[in-house]
Every structure is written in structure tokens, then in C-alpha cells.
């Protein structure tokens, strides 16, 4: 299994997931279809599937066009998310196969949108798994609570995604890492892991490189939204429960001028 990130629009990422034995590929959120096809052709792969994380235009807006460019391609999306161009609706726990070796598990991770799906991808070859989290989980951050509640985001981040194997690689929908880490330092100014990752992320961006992937383990160490089970973090933001804390941190992030 090979994964390639494809920068799109201003700060979006699409991803190409390749089953190397069959050269079949899936694409996550192909908002710029022509660009995706060029990358697929460069790697000599056949696009079979579209994995849409959620209905927002900067993720699902290329679906109709890619269906025209690749006749017969299957477009997956959350069953309650009204994804443009969707041919195959998925629920939490549905499995999709790609080629001979790759298995894709649909995880319902609502809050940013009601039907948001993250895709957990594993290979029979035994490589570290990956999860494509759209706008639910960003590196060191999370999406705005447009269609859901703090309780839902806690379940999505800390329960559903937080229970994945620690070595799972995290591929998110936007390049927001540096700003997210700067904000994370306002919540936990003494967190050395955040300081270290911020320096690394700034270096990556200055060199023109992406900051994906992270890992679930790194997120548990540096992402304040995934650390709300810690009593000291709850106390720091004046909250008395993980759910209250995640809501308060989101409120603070929404008004932060960093």
C-alpha cells in the first residue's frame, strides 16, 4: 500500500491510496479531479474508488467531474451526509476492498458534519495502518462544530479515533498544523512535545513540505482536543469533564487571533 498526498486549492489535501499488487487506487476527496488523474497516470494506476469524508464543496466538489472523467468509478460517502455524486452510501463499520491487499473501514465521526466519515485503511502486507480524517481530526486540532455537539466531537476524536492503534498514520483534510500547534501552546504552554512538533512543522512548511502524516500516538501527546481526559487540562480551561473541556477549547480556538 502506497499513499501520496496531493495539495489542492489553497490548503486542502487529496490522497491517492494505491494497492501495489494490482495497481488499483482510491482517492480521498478529489476536489481537483484533473490534478488527481495526472498523479494517477504518473504512478501508472487505475482509479477505482472515491472516498468522500463529508459533503462540503472543498472535499466533495470534484465528485461529479471525476465520474465523467473515469466512467464507472464508485463514489463513497456517509449515508446521512448528502454527498454530491455519491454512488455507494456507507455506514459506520462498512468495509470496502481495494485491489488484493487493502481493506478500508468506514468510521462515522460526526460533529463537523452529521454524516462525516473517516476511513481506516489497512493492508494485508502488514504496514502501519492509516486513517483519513477529513475535517474531524486535524494535526493538533479538530474541525469546527458546524453540525454537531461537543459530546459528538469527544466521541469522534477520543473514543472512535483515539481507540485506533497508536502507530496509525493520520492524514487530514487541510494543512493547518503550524497554527494549530501555536494555539495548542496557549492551552498547554509547558508541553515539550508540542514545542518540538511546532519547530519541526515550521521547518517542514518553510521547506515547502507537508506536515502529514501524524500518528494517533502523536495526536494523543500534542493535540489538546484529544487530551481532554487529563484532569490538569480540564482544570487549565476551567472545565469539569472531558466533554465540557473539548467544547471550551473549541470556543477558545474560534476566538483566538493567532
Q: Is 135 a catalytic residue?
A: yes
Q: Are 54 and 112 in contact (CB under 8 A)?
A: yes
**Cross-strand bridge partners of residue 76:** 51, 88
Q: Of 56, 81, 108, 116, which residue is the catalytic one? A: 56
Q: Of 58, 94, 128, 229, which residue is the catalytic one? A: 58
* CA–CA–CA angle 226, 227, 228 (5° rounding): 100
Query: What is the spatial distance between Cα 52 and Cα 81, in angstroms, rounded to a whole number?
Result: 10
Q: Is 58 a catalytic residue?
A: yes
Q: Of 59, 81, 101, 108, which residue is the catalytic one? A: 59
Helix axes 177-187, 242-255, angle to 10 degrees: 120
Active-site residue list: 54, 56, 58-59, 112, 135, 174
Amino acid at each position: 500500500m502506497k499513499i501520496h498526498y496531493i495539495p489542492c486549492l489553497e490548503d486542502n489535501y487529496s490522497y491517492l491510496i494505491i494497492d501495489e499488487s494490482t495497481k488499483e487506487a482510491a482517492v480521498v476527496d478529489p476536489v481537483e479531479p484533473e490534478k488527481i488523474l495526472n498523479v494517477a497516470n504518473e504512478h501508472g494506476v487505475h482509479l477505482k474508488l472515491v472516498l468522500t469524508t463529508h459533503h462540503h464543496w472543498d472535499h466533495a466538489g470534484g465528485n461529479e467531474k471525476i465520474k465523467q472523467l473515469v466512467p464507472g468509478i464508485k463514489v463513497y460517502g456517509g449515508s446521512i451526509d448528502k454527498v454530491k455524486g455519491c454512488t455507494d452510501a456507507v455506514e459506520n463499520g462498512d468495509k470496502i476492498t481495494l485491489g488484493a491487499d487493502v481493506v478500508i473501514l468506514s468510521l462515522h465521526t460526526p460533529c463537523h458534519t452529521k454524516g462525516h466519515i473517516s476511513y481506516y485503511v489497512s493492508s494485508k502486507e502488514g504496514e502501519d495502518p492509516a486513517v483519513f480524517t477529513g475535517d474531524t481530526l486535524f494535526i493538533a486540532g479538530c474541525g469546527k462544530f458546524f453540525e454537531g455537539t461537543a459530546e459528538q466531537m469527544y466521541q469522534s476524536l477520543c473514543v472512535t479515533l483515539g481507540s485506533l492503534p497508536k502507530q496509525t498514520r493520520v492524514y487530514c483534510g487541510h494543512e493547518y498544523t503550524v497554527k494549530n500547534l501555536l494555539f495548542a501552546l496557549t492551552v498547554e504552554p509547558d508541553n515539550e512535545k508540542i514545542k518540538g512538533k511546532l519547530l519541526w512543522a515550521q521547518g517542514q512548511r518553510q521547506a515547502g513540505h507537508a506536515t502529514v502524516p501524524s500518528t494517533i500516538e502523536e495526536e494523543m501527546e500534542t493535540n489538546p482536543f484529544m487530551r481532554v481526559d487529563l484532569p490538569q487540562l480540564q482544570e487549565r480551561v476551567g472545565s469539569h469533564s472531558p466533554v465540557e473541556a473539548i467544547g471550551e477549547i473549541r470556543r477558545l480556538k474560534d476566538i483566538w487571533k493567532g
